[in-house]
Amino acid sequence: MDISIIIVSYNTRELLKDCLISIKSAINSLKVEVFVVDNNSYDKTKEMVKKDFPEVTLIANKKNVGFSKANNQAIKKAKGCYILVLNPDTILSSDTLDKMFSLMKKNKDVAVATCRVELPNGKLDRDCRRLYPTPWRAFTHFSTLSRVFPNTKLFDQYQMGHISDKLEHEIESCVGAFMFVRTANIKKVGLFDEDFFFYGEDLDWCYRFRQAGFKIAYTPSTKIIHYKGAASGMKQTSAHVTKVTRQSKKRALYESVHSMELFYKKHLKEKYPFYINWLVLVSLKILERIRVLSA
């Protein structure tokens, strides 16, 4: 088996259907298996998969176990030399699997790779290539200084705006919407950390791969479309294609900040003096409160 594609779904039936159709057109001569792990959707996702895509392996959870645990369920069953962690709100290009498969075969030191991820309006999803959220990078990102001074090395580090997205280059982290992973390397690094329920698990996994001596790569040679935030309802780019409850949106907004707190405590806290840590963690708590109240 060449590639195992894993998609975690939660109330994104129509988007998932389009995603699975795009996968069919991208398989070409590759040997591919597809897993859909459904986190107890109430929009008849499971019925759609069973009826329209009988070749897909469906894992139906009785509750929402989160993104990390759901992916891990399928990773344990995967037989592919490579694993593609893919969001249900994505559309592959016809050459995406071939291009990524070729890149990984040529670069044995790369454990994780991603491609150009575009929003429906054609703009780059800037989360697809990132550096670690150090205190300075987090400050410039959340304070929007990175938007005031875009594409500058000083202020736009976190989303790598200072490096052209038209060039293939090494990155520190990609986005969980599209992660092409060498299966053999997972044995050394381990599975997704299930403490990250929703958000941050991609950043944590990439960090651990790099700590183990592997590289993370970005290539613009192929692209996918990402209806960003479809499962959570957090983004305007997906507001017209999915509906979520207010409670689900509040949970997603909470997790978007809480995951950064988990990542900082796990990987960065020991690298900075106590007053920097205090400032970072207090700022995250304030941001978390603001986001939840805004829902």
**CATH code of the domain in which 115 resides:** 3.90.550.10
Q: By the 8 A CB rule, do 269 and 277 touch?
A: yes
Range from 16-25, 121-130, 132-141, 162-171 carrying the lowest mean pLDDT: 132-141
> Is residue 55's pLDDT more than 50?
yes
Query: In this structure, are 55 and 176 located in the same domain?
Result: yes
SS3 171: strand
Query: In this structure, are 206 and 281 located in the same domain?
Result: no
CB pairs under 8 A, 24+ apart, for 70-76? 70/8, 70/37, 70/39, 71/6, 71/8, 71/37, 71/191, 71/192, 71/201, 72/191, 72/192, 72/194, 73/37, 74/4, 74/6, 74/35, 74/37, 75/4, 75/6, 75/186, 75/191, 75/192, 76/191
Which residue matches tokens 């304070």? Answer: 143
Mean pLDDT (the chain) is 93
Query: In this structure, are 34 and 179 located in the same domain?
Result: yes
pTM above 0.75, yes or no: yes
Query: In this structure, are 37 and 115 located in the same domain?
Result: yes
> Is residue 241's pLDDT more than 80?
no
Question: Is 155 within the bounds of a domain?
Answer: no
Query: In this structure, are 170 and 295 located in the same domain?
Result: no
pLDDT digits (tens, 9 = 90+) for 256-282: 888 899 999 999 999 999 999 999 999
User: Of 230, 265, 282, which marks where a domain is finished?
Assistant: 230
% of the chain beyond a pLDDT of 90: 81
Question: Domain range holding 259?
Answer: 245-295
Question: Mean pLDDT over residues 116-126, rounded?
Answer: 97
User: Of 230, 260, 280, which marks where a domain is finished?
Assistant: 230
pLDDT digits (tens, 9 = 90+) for 35-53: 999 999 999 999 999 999 9
Query: In this structure, are 218 and 102 located in the same domain?
Result: yes
Determine the pLDDT at residue 237.
47
Question: Is 235 within the bounds of a domain?
Answer: no
User: Pairing mode, if any, of strands 3-9 and 32-38?
Assistant: parallel
User: Of 230, 254, 272, which marks where a domain is finished?
Assistant: 230
SS3 256: helix
Question: Mean pLDDT over residues 175-200, rounded?
Answer: 97
Q: By the 8 A CB rule, do 91 and 224 touch?
A: yes
Count of domains in the chain? 2
Query: In this structure, are 200 and 81 located in the same domain?
Result: yes
Question: Is 238 within the bounds of a domain?
Answer: no
Residue 244's pLDDT band, with cuts at 50, 70 and 90, is low
Question: Mean pLDDT over residues 100-116, rounded?
Answer: 99
Query: In this structure, are 123 and 72 located in the same domain?
Result: yes
